[in-house]
Structure 1
Amino acid sequence: MSTRKIILINGHPGQSSLNKSLAETYRQSAEARGHEVRYHDISAMEFDMDYGEGGYANPKPLEPVLEALLSDLEWADHVVLTSPLWWGAMPAKLKGALDRALKPGRAFDTRNTTAVGFPKPMLKGKTARVLMTSDTPAVLLWLMYGNAIKKIFARQIFGFVGIHPTRFTWFAPASHADEKTVQSWRQKVAQLGADAA
């Protein structure tokens, strides 16, 4: 089996979390199989989350942690992101990191457009996996909300910059999962890491 270059992002802003545990499980398993992993932990990153007054013509300079994040997105051929589902979306700090790091001229090209008028994606040739924790089971997210978070990640963020396909693995209900359940989730994530999937 060929090895892959993986950027692994823990999108939970807390210092300790189920998401961080799943990210570390994925990392250990992937590295044990020979894949190269570059790890970014949102909880340990310090940056201004607000795009602010910066525009496409005058973007706010990236802090070193965001420059490293973007550089590793450019380097990787597979993106793995862990995130909790909070109020139907991702945590604010993760959203802020993506708002800032996915810069025009490096993630998408506003000077060249697709047939439908969107900026040309610049991160093509990569795949993604989102490890999503929530208290709402995936089937209810689909029935009640039309899988809005899935569409946001797969189409409006990763898809917009050329990362495709984005696959999802759901872990729910997560807040009060017992140890046996969590262990079964870790085993599942370990297999994904070994397979670089």
Structure 2
Amino acid sequence: MSSRKILILNGHPGQTSLSKSLCAAYQAAAEASGHHVRCHDISQMQFDMDYGQSGYKNPKPLEPDLAAFLEDLEWAEHVVMAAPLWWGAVPAKLKAVFDRALLPGRAFDTRNVNFMGLPAPMLTGKTARVLLTSDTPSLWLRLFYGNAVKKFISRQILGFVGIKPTRFTTFAPATDAPQAKVGTWLRTASGLGAKAA
């Protein structure tokens, strides 16, 4: 298998988390298999989370951490994101990364629209894997909530800018999971990393 360029984004704002451990397991296995990995951790990223009222015609300049993230997103062939499910969506700081960094001219082209008026995606040719931690079991997430968070991430964020397909691996219930279960989950992340899947 040829090596791939992989961007890993830990989307948990805490200094320590299961998401961070999953990212570390994925990274170690991916690098051991010869893949090229760049990592970002939102708990370490410093930027203004509020896009404000500047609009796309006069956007706020990207802070260094966001500029580096966007450059690595453009560089990557495969994007891996780990995030917890909080109140049916992702943490606010993770959403803010996309609010601030996915801008016209870099992520999508408003001058080139399709028949429905949607701008052309500019980050095509990339795939994604989301490592989702949750206290809601996968079956309930699908039956009661229609997999809303998965649609939101895969269609309205990543798919909108051309990153697809997005595949999900869900780890649940995550709070107070026994160490044996966590160990199994970390091995799952390692297996995905080894295959750059």
Deviation at 1:115, TM superposition (A): 2.4
Report the counterpart of residue 167 of structure 1 in structure 2. Answer: 167
Deviation at 1:53, TM superposition (A): 1.5
- SS for the counterpart of 1:110 is strand
Say what the alpha-carbon RMSD is for the aligned residues: 0.5
Provide, for residues 134-187 of structure 1, a one-character-per-residue CA deviation record: whole Å limited to 9, x for no partner. 000111011001000000011000000000100000000000100000000001
Deviation at 1:117, TM superposition (A): 1.1
Report the counterpart of residue 86 of structure 1 in structure 2. Answer: 86
Report the counterpart of residue 178 of structure 2 in structure 1. Answer: 178
Report the counterpart of residue 95 of structure 2 in structure 1. Answer: 95
Q: What is the distance in 2 between the residues matched to 1:35 and 1:116?
A: 38
Trace 1:43-192 onto structure 2 (pairs within 5 A): 43-192=43-192
Quote the sequence identity (%). 65
- SS for the counterpart of 1:70 is helix
- SS for the counterpart of 1:127 is strand
Q: What is the distance in 2 between the residues matched to 1:129 and 1:9?
A: 10
- SS for the counterpart of 1:151 is helix
Deviation at 1:42, TM superposition (A): 0.4
Q: What is the distance in 2 between the residues matched to 1:122 and 1:195?
A: 26
**TM-score w.r.t. length of structure 2:** 0.99
Q: What is the distance in 2 between the residues matched to 1:15 and 1:133?
A: 16
Point out where structure 2 has 5 or more consecutive residues left out of the alignment.
Answer: none
Report the counterpart of residue 194 of structure 2 in structure 1. Answer: 194
Point out where structure 1 has 5 or more consecutive residues left out of the alignment.
Answer: none
**In the alignment, residue 7 of structure 2 is paired with which amino acid?**
I
Q: What is the distance in 2 between the residues matched to 1:155 and 1:18?
A: 25
- SS for the counterpart of 1:57 is coil
**In the alignment, residue 172 of structure 1 is paired with which amino acid?**
A
**53-62 or 151-160, larger mean C-alpha shift:** 53-62
Deviating above 4 A after TM superposition, structure 1's stretches of 4 or more consecutive aligned residues are: none
Provide, for residues 13-41 of structure 1, a one-character-per-residue CA deviation record: whole Å limited to 9, x for no partner. 00000000000010111001010000000
**In the alignment, residue 196 of structure 1 is paired with which amino acid?**
A
- SS for the counterpart of 1:103 is coil
